[in-house]
Amino acid sequence: MIKTVRTVDELRKIVRGWRAEGLSMGLVPTMGALHAGHMALAARSLETTDRTIATLFVNPKQFGEGEDLESYPRDEQTDSDKLGQAGVHLLFAPDVDQMYPANFSTGVSVGGLGDVLEGTYRPGFFDGVATVVSKLLNQAGADRAFFGEKDYQQLQVITRMARDLNIPTVIEGVATIREEDGLALSSRNVYLSAEERRAAPVLYQTLMQVASRVKAGDDIIELENWGREQVLAVGFSSVDYLSVHDAETLEAFGERSRPGRVLVAAKLGRARLIDNVPV
Amino acid sequence: MIKTVRTVDELRKIVRGWRAEGLSMGLVPTMGALHAGHMALAARSLETTDRTIATLFVNPKQFGEGEDLESYPRDEQTDSDKLGQAGVHLLFAPDVDQMYPANFSTGVSVGGLGDVLEGTYRPGFFDGVATVVSKLLNQAGADRAFFGEKDYQQLQVITRMARDLNIPTVIEGVATIREEDGLALSSRNVYLSAEERRAAPVLYQTLMQVASRVKAGDDIIELENWGREQVLAVGFSSVDYLSVHDAETLEAFGERSRPGRVLVAAKLGRARLIDNVPV
């Protein structure tokens, strides 16, 4: 049974004790509904630090109107069991009042990086992410914090935010975990019907082909258009974006000498899936 | 001679050493041009913590267009001497590139509290303050940080921001230091001509009268109007605001059972002066 705390005071008391013993600490922020992707973050933290703290908080500030805040999958008991079995040392699972007390009125915003791609389709999403993550980092005061590359833009936004605000926690990205057929693990994959689930891996296959043809020197605009057609052809209802970007600034991919990233967001039935691969 | 460092890395190295010795730390953020008000902050820090760090950074992000960023008084040698003589242990004086490196793009914003009064007349000012102060607090990791009550709304914005983002530094307000005739000390008082300097104390005298008549039960709107007339009558060219507010939320003063605050901002020659007193 993993120890669970619900207040910042309890969390800090335990952290102070660990600090006093000279132990290093890793933080794994999650919204629960844990899958092998989350467990890979925990494994990386367990491997590189002495004590691992997982957090479970479905952050209302990062859900827009009409999004799935109410229906987002929640099962703390199962999550807690998984973390305990993996050897995670502490679960911090605050309620909304603990995170956003009366008169809460501060927002953290990352311009540029947070305005493109997901930022266009989910206004306010990255403000909600940057705000809650800055809180979690300050609450725990861990040495390192682990985020999945599946949410690639989120990882870049958090890395920039922590650097800009001088939060002294190292942000580390962990490679995306995939099903055997290539579909990136996501808590939202449960929204897929059996038929949709069969079509879903085309997202990853298309990204891989686009990345390989960018490397080969093909025209980027044509590749992006081709990619979108592939995805729509197998039953996705719309493609918010499928495009090639600078891996760090997320600006349009220009110099092929710099690392690039192909990113996609597309709707399949009730689910909106995102994925990305390096160039 | 006070030790001066210019990079976050050097600052943190010294702070880590002090932490390892079990010493407590106080932070005194300033924009330089130090007067007895700043020195009262330093004195309070020296009194309550083992090591005091002063910072000197004229923060471009809190100056609006047409404001006095270029002409803001700067004299690091004199400031540094004053801090050394007072027994302050360390001066952190970063340059702009150290605080805002390439691709800096994160902003911290306090809604509500930061939108009224000064927020109306200096758009972006409190965003600049909240952003730089969250950085300074994270850079130093001190136990306590000291801010003057002269900038009362700023103190409330910073207190709220630190609470909301769970920055583990206690924010402490220190009472305003005044000239013998009541004028609040300010680095911008140097902008006053001899004649303006003679008129300036009317600001404080008026606030004191308003506060005392609020306590006596007089009508607040009438008092605010009366106060503005007093200030204009002695040669101030305009009054941005002179009004009574809830001391914590800064909303319009309603219940007389809660602590209130009378705040003023008014222009006198080249200077824009602010002041406040409790009710």
> What mean pLDDT value characterizes chain A?
96
B175 Cβ neighbours under 8 A, 6+ residues apart: B40, B149
As annotated, the active-site residues of A are 38
Tens digit of each residue's pLDDT (9 = 90 or more) over B150-162: 999 999 999 999 9
Instruction: Provide the pLDDT confidence category of residue A65 given band limits of 50, 70 and 90.
Output: confident
Q: What pLDDT is recorded for position B115?
A: 92
Instruction: Provide the pLDDT confidence category of residue B187 given band limits of 50, 70 and 90.
Output: confident
Whether pLDDT at B255 is above 80: no
Q: How many angstroms separate the CA of residue B178 from the nearest CA in chain A?
A: 32
Q: For residue B110, list chain A residues with Cβ-Cβ distance below 8 A.
A: 105-107
Q: Which domains does chain B have, with CATH numbers?
A: 3-174 (3.40.50.620), 187-278 (3.30.1300.10)
Tens digit of each residue's pLDDT (9 = 90 or more) over A22-37: 999 999 999 999 999 9
Cβ contact A106–B104 (<8 Å): no
Q: What pLDDT is recorded for position A191?
A: 92
Tens digit of each residue's pLDDT (9 = 90 or more) over B80-122: 999 999 999 999 999 999 999 999 999 999 999 999 999 999 9
In chain A, the residue whose alpha carbon lies closest to the alpha carbon of B100 is A164
Pick among B166, B167, B249, B258 to test the A interface (most A CBs inside 10 A) = B166
CA–CA dist A114, A131 (Å, integer): 12
Q: Which of A105, A110, A161 sits opposite B160 (nearest CB)?
A: A105
Q: For residue A111, list chain B residues with Cβ-Cβ distance below 8 A.
A: 105-107
Q: For residue B109, list chain A residues with Cβ-Cβ distance below 8 A.
A: 106-109
Q: How many angstroms separate the CA of residue B63 from the nearest CA in chain A?
A: 19
Q: What pLDDT is recorded for position B203?
A: 97
- Give me the percent of chain A exceeding a pLDDT of 70: 100
Whether pLDDT at A157 is above 90: yes
CA distances from A139 to A12, B167, B207, B259 (A): 7, 7, 40, 30
B211 Cβ neighbours under 8 A, 6+ residues apart: B260, B262, B277, B278, B279
Average pLDDT over residues B201-228: 96
- For chains A and B, count residue pairs whose Cβ atoms are closer than 8 Å: 83
CA–CA dist B191, A266 (Å, integer): 59
Compare A155 and B66 and report the one with higher pLDDT.
A155
Q: What pLDDT is recorded for position B68?
A: 87
Tens digit of each residue's pLDDT (9 = 90 or more) over A192-207: 999 999 999 999 999 9
Pick among B108, B115, B132, B160 to test the A interface (most A CBs inside 10 A) = B108
Q: What pLDDT is recorded for position B50?
A: 98
Q: What pLDDT is recorded for position B151?
A: 96
Q: How many angstroms separate the CA of residue B132 from the nearest CA in chain A?
A: 8
Q: What is the ipTM of this complex?
A: 0.95
Cβ contact A165–B104 (<8 Å): no
Inter-axis angle of helices A125-140 and A152-164, nearest 10: 60
Average pLDDT over residues B240-248: 96
Whether pLDDT at A256 is above 90: no
Torsion over CA: B71, B73, B74, B77 (sign): positive
Average pLDDT over residues A36-40: 97
Q: How far is CA A203 from the centre of its chain?
A: 18
Q: How many angstroms separate the CA of residue A145 from the nearest CA in chain B?
A: 16
In chain A, the residue whose alpha carbon lies closest to the alpha carbon of B163 is A104
Q: What pLDDT is recorded for position B276?
A: 98
Q: Chain B residues within 8 A (CB-CB) of chain A?
A: 8, 12, 101, 103-114, 130-131, 134-135, 138-139, 141, 160-161, 163-168, 249
Q: What pLDDT is recorded for position A220?
A: 95
Q: Which of B103, B107, B138 sits opposite A167 (nearest CB)?
A: B138
Q: Which of A139, A160, A168 sits opposite B106 (nearest CB)?
A: A160
Cβ contact B106–A107 (<8 Å): no
Q: For residue A139, list chain B residues with Cβ-Cβ distance below 8 A.
A: 166
Torsion over CA: A181, A183, A185, A189 (sign): negative
Tens digit of each residue's pLDDT (9 = 90 or more) over A89-139: 999 999 999 999 999 999 999 999 999 999 999 999 999 999 999 999 999
Q: What pLDDT is recorded for position B65?
A: 85
Q: Which of A105, A164, A167 sits opposite B104 (nearest CB)?
A: A164
Q: How many angstroms separate the CA of residue A160 from the nearest CA in chain B?
A: 8
Q: Which of A103, A104, A161 sits opposite B106 (nearest CB)?
A: A161
Q: Which of B8, B161, B166 sits opposite A8 (nearest CB)?
A: B166
> What mean pLDDT value characterizes chain B?
96
Q: How far is CA B13 from the centre of its chain?
A: 28
Q: For residue B134, list chain A residues with Cβ-Cβ distance below 8 A.
A: 165
B248 Cβ neighbours under 8 A, 6+ residues apart: B156, B258, B259
CA-based nearest residue to A32, from A69, A7, A66: A69
Q: Which has the minimum average pLDDT: A55-64, B2-11, B61-70?
A: B61-70
Q: For residue A130, list chain B residues with Cβ-Cβ distance below 8 A.
A: 106
Pick among A99, A105, A129, A136 to test the B interface (most B CBs inside 10 A) = A105
Q: Which residue has the tokens 């600078």?
A: A246
Q: Is B38 a catalytic residue?
A: yes
Q: How many angstroms separate the CA of residue B227 from the nearest CA in chain A?
A: 30
Q: Which has the minimum average pLDDT: A20-34, A63-77, A78-92, B72-86?
A: A63-77
Compare B201 and B72 and report the one with higher pLDDT.
B201
Pick among B105, B126, B136 to test the A interface (most A CBs inside 10 A) = B105
